[in-house]
Amino acid sequence: MLLQDLQGYLQTHRRVSLTKLCQHLQMDADALRPVLDVLVRKGRVRYLHQPTCGGCHSCASTDLELFEWVEKPP
């Protein structure tokens, strides 16, 4: 169920921060990362890391961890 919910959310939103995924799934980031790693290894999701948010210095590190759904070719 978790994997399906996660994939569905990523398919719908395309690019999502770890913070938003945690909020949507009501999970801790440390618990969600291994599930995301499975999807990355399978080639369904791409990890995108943003080194900074633009200088505000108030963003959480999970705001800078982005995950993007990867469309498979037909």
Q: What is the pLDDT of residues 37-57, one digit of tens each?
A: 999 999 999 998 765 555 555
Is the pLDDT reported for residue 62 higher than 80?
no
E strand or H helix that includes residue 49:
strand 45-49
Torsion of CA 54, 44, 22, 8, to 10 degrees: 120
- Determine the pLDDT at residue 30: 93
User: Structure pTM?
Assistant: 0.77
* Residue 2 identity: L
CA neighbor of 29 nearest in space, from 57, 1, 66:
66
Mean pLDDT to the nearest integer, 6-15: 93
CB 31 within 8 A of CB 9: no
- Determine the pLDDT at residue 56: 56
Q: Which CATH class is domain 2-69?
A: mainly alpha
Work out the mean pLDDT of the chain and round it to a whole number.
84
- Determine the pLDDT at residue 61: 59
